[in-house]
Amino acid sequence: MSVRVAEQVEDWESRSFAGGYEALGRLADGEFSGTVRAGGAELFMTKGAVVGVQGGTIESFEGSGTAYEAPSPALPLLTVMQAQSDEVRQKYYTEKTSISAVDETLSEGGFTGFVVLSENVLSGEYYLVYHAGRSMSVAFLGESERLLTGDEAFETAADEVGLYEVRPVEIEPIEIPEPDPDTEPAPESDADRASDSGPAEDAESALDGPDPDPGADPEAATDAAREQPSEPAAAGPDETGPSRSTEDGSPDRGAGTGPDARSETATGERSPNAAEPARNPDEPDRSRSGSVETGDRRQAPSDGGSRSGTASETASREQERASLETVAVPSLDPSRTRVQSRTQSRSRADGSAGTTSAEQASEASPASEPSEDAGPDPERVAELEAAVGDREEEIDRLNSELAEATDERAELRDQLETVTEERDALIQEVERLEDDLATLESELGAQVDAERRLSAREALAGTDLFVRYDSKGDTPLAKAHDGAGRRSDVVENLRLETYTQFESEAVAVGGKEYDAFLTDTAAYQFANWLIRDLLFEIRSTGSEAALRTLYDMLPEIDRVEFAGTVEIEYTEDGQETRTDEEFDLVFRNRMGEPLIATNLNDSLEAASQAMMEQLITAARRVGQSSETFAGAFLVTTSFFEPGALETASEATKSGFLSRDKRASYVNLSRKRGFHLCLVEARDQKFNLAVPEL
């Protein structure tokens, strides 16, 4: 990651910081997001919650320093996470796994950490910052690192192509200590008073805000929830005069020096000498109604004014406070989260019109009842419960439709991948045919004493090899199979005889005489290796048991058919089917039954997943039709794609309780199957890559 947010702090809007813990408490009350530097240490706040301290401890901030306000609440949290991140959980490619899909998974899983999209991205760097599944988005574009936030940052990231990392980071909020009650609070600056929004709550609840949609800007959602009209609080009987207010309506904490003045700590608790009416401990604390954010200015509801008033005014104020409390959302500590109005949440989810949270508070909350003796209106409660039920049914229906659409999209994506692979295979075939055509055109002027010219494919299609011995009394493959005889004796005694459907002496292929052409082909060289060498390689490595089905069939090979066709009968979907399967090589016994089938990839391109799937499908059908079928080979002169290897592994995977010790074996039934083998050809040498001997 090249963008380190910590290096950009000094570019943020700054102001002096003085007053120690009391000043930190005021920043927390104002839901400050940014960095505070003091005593050589740095403290990071996101929406009033202290999310980390670097270069010192919370005690480093008892004095004075400088506060830097972040342009987005995501930046301080991201700064801490960048400093603590030492693990990459996953790495994804956007074309395979989209940003939106991962965002949905992380949100539902309550993830804490961040996602960074930067590798192979030219436009900039993109970050999704999560805590307990809630996310905020920022991006840095171009060499100037222009900042994007919220929806714009998320949507821009979702449209980018590149590699991104998922990095988990544990974040523990830090409580602001209570100031020494004997210490005179430092005077507030105008900036402190402008950001002061009322009594502070626990540091962990400072990140409260509406539950965001994936990629939504939490600042905008929080602003929308907080924009409620402020109501002056009623004065207590012990106050000697009206409270002083700042110009923007926030309370002047320096006003009042007697026992009736409110002395508030950074944790939102009042000191013992603060005058306040007795409160039922089971009743929710309604002392904080939330701040209102407008751009970079934050205003706090006024505490000034007389505390006297009518009962209806008091009920109205309590109703407004209740409506604000219903939009509080989970904090850094989920166990301390206030419950959000369920009806309001459902209303936001389906976008339908209905009763607002403020209306619900006024209808169902005891704070808005006309008198202490009056209970909730049963008809109104039943009406609200019915509305909630209807919305839940609608949400279930929409979720069901979404699941169906998601499944359909996945199916279409799979079909697209299949068609793409088929297209790529056809492109390779066209390129190969074009190469053959170019070779033929160049051969028109070849000086070869031949009456007839054939293409490589035509020549191989008209050729068969027969396995013969100079003397059957000497060592044949059958004796070597049983462990008798030396390898040199068998190889010297064995010969491959060529049979053609044309006069080979009168044929030229690719500017060469036929015999020279044939022995230079990968097909002939592989057939020669499989017949002469494979049995001894299996025997020398002690792999007879692991490759038993194939090992037992090697001495039975009598004929090798180039461009061979196998007539098969197989059952598919309950119906008997007769068809032909074509292979580059078919090894048969004396009765003409197929023993081994082989496909060759002699191009510079890697053997693909489509080639592997085609071989396995055809081999399965041959194995179902023929009891002698023992092996299927895919030979490449280059290498195997990962997808081809994964397909082979899936096809040969045994069940959890299987005791089958045969290597790379495709089960067709309890007693039948065949070995699937992958061979790499290099400089006329062949290596059995799967299974490894």
Measured distance CA(224)–CA(218) in Å, rounded: 10
User: Do 292 and 151 fall into the same domain?
Assistant: no
Which residue segment(s) compose the domain that 595 sits in? 463-500+521-690
User: Do 152 and 274 fall into the same domain?
Assistant: no
Q: What is the pLDDT of residues 384-430, one digit of tens each?
A: 889 898 988 999 999 999 999 999 999 898 899 899 989 999 999 99
Residue 436's pLDDT is 80
Q: What is the mean pLDDT of residues 342-369?
A: 40
Measured distance CA(75)–CA(44) in Å, rounded: 9
By the 8 A CB rule, do 668 and 651 touch? no
For the chain, what is the domain count?
A: 3
Higher pLDDT, 584 or 369: 584
Question: With 80 as the cut, is the pLDDT of residue 609 above it?
Answer: yes
Contact residues for 484 (Cβ-Cβ < 8 A; gap 6+): 475
By the 8 A CB rule, do 637 and 620 touch? no
Q: Quick check: is 642 in a domain?
A: yes
Among candidate residues 302, 319, 334, the one where a domain is terminated:
334
pLDDT range class, residue 27, cuts 50, 70, 90: very high
User: Do 92 and 128 fall into the same domain?
Assistant: yes
User: Do 538 and 580 fall into the same domain?
Assistant: yes
User: Do 159 and 239 fall into the same domain?
Assistant: no
Task: Give how far Cα 628 sits from Cα of 531, 590, 596, 671, 673, Å.
Answer: 17, 12, 9, 12, 10
Measured distance CA(192)–CA(605) in Å, rounded: 68
Q: Quick check: is 362 in a domain?
A: no
Task: For 256-322, list the strands marked E by DSSP.
Answer: 292-294, 297-299
Q: Quick check: is 76 in a domain?
A: no
For the entire predicted model, the pTM comes to: 0.40
Mean pLDDT lowest among 60-64, 496-500, 510-514, 629-633: 510-514
Measured distance CA(241)–CA(248) in Å, rounded: 20
Q: What is the pLDDT of residues 426-479, one digit of tens each?
A: 999 998 898 887 666 555 545 456 678 888 899 999 999 999 988 877 778 888
Question: With 50 as the cut, is the pLDDT of residue 675 above it?
Answer: yes
Contact residues for 222 (Cβ-Cβ < 8 A; gap 6+): 47, 208, 209, 210, 293
Q: Quick check: is 474 in a domain?
A: yes
Q: What is the mean pLDDT of residues 659-672?
A: 85
Q: Quick check: is 450 in a domain?
A: no
Q: What is the pLDDT of residues 201-238, one digit of tens each?
A: 444 444 544 444 434 343 433 343 534 333 333 333 33
User: Do 139 and 222 fall into the same domain?
Assistant: no
User: Do 202 and 289 fall into the same domain?
Assistant: yes
Among candidate residues 115, 145, 168, the one where a domain is terminated:
168
Among candidate residues 151, 168, 185, the one where a domain is terminated:
168
By the 8 A CB rule, do 676 and 666 touch? yes
Q: What is the pLDDT of residues 531-552, one digit of tens each?
A: 999 999 999 899 999 999 999 9
Q: What is the mean pLDDT of residues 319-332?
A: 38
User: Do 628 and 591 fall into the same domain?
Assistant: yes
Q: Quick check: is 383 in a domain?
A: no
User: Do 153 and 217 fall into the same domain?
Assistant: no
Q: What is the mean pLDDT of residues 185-209?
A: 44
Question: With 90 as the cut, is the pLDDT of residue 35 above it?
Answer: yes
Q: Quick check: is 605 in a domain?
A: yes
Task: Give how far Cα 190 sits from Cα of 148, 193, 254, Å.
Answer: 29, 5, 12
Residue 628's pLDDT is 94
pLDDT range class, residue 490, cuts 50, 70, 90: confident
State the average pLDDT for the chain: 76
Residue 434's pLDDT is 82
User: Do 669 and 612 fall into the same domain?
Assistant: yes
Q: Quick check: is 439 in a domain?
A: no
Measured distance CA(207)–CA(338) in Å, rounded: 12
User: Do 493 and 582 fall into the same domain?
Assistant: yes
Q: What is the mean pLDDT of residues 578-599?
A: 95
Task: Give how far Cα 212 sits from Cα of 73, 354, 666, Å.
Answer: 14, 20, 50
User: Do 59 and 113 fall into the same domain?
Assistant: no
> Element (H or E) spanning 239, and its range?
none
Rg over alpha carbons for the chain, rounded to the nearest Å, is 39
